[in-house]
Structure 1
Amino acid sequence: MLMSSSDRPAVLHFDHNGFRVISPGYHVICAVSGEPIPLELLRYWSVTRQEAYASPELATKRLLGKG
């Protein structure tokens, strides 16, 4: 069975002003919570760690070493 791009996470390269799609998909996985984040809702990420976060609270938690 073939998977559509909505079934698998995208692979992104995060930059300071945005991100580049390396492998297409509908969502990425939050590095802290593990929840899927639709690409159109993705607003928080770390360029250094190349990770996505579902909310500013989760990004802060990760950056403070609590996640």
Structure 2
Amino acid sequence: MLKPESRPAKLHYLTNNFRVLADGDFVTCAVTGTRIPLDELRYWSAARQEAYVDAEASTRALAPQ
């Protein structure tokens, strides 16, 4: 659960991990705009350098427009 005073983190997404570039509490899903606590982050794209809240959002991001 995020607190109102939570700060966004800046990450560099790697294939199987990510590196924290700027400390924070969450990242924002590139598809839904949902705040994702760092300890709950499971889906991202290293190629696109973006995070996703769940597998469905990840699939939607990769689907042709």
TM-score of the two chains, using structure 1 as the length reference: 0.86
Aligned to 1:63: 62
Which sections of structure 2, spanning at least 5 residues, go unmatched?
Answer: none
Which sections of structure 1, spanning at least 5 residues, go unmatched?
Answer: 1-5
Take 2:64 and 2:14, find their aligned partners in 1: how far apart are those partners? 21
Post-superposition CA distance 1:11-31 (Å, at most 9, x none): 000001100000000000000
Give the CA RMSD over aligned residues: 1.1
Question: Percent identity at matched positions?
Answer: 51
Work out which of the two has the higher radius of gyration on C-alpha atoms and give 1 or 2: 1
TM-score of the two chains, using structure 2 as the length reference: 0.88
SS in 2 for 1:57: helix
Aligned to 2:40: 41
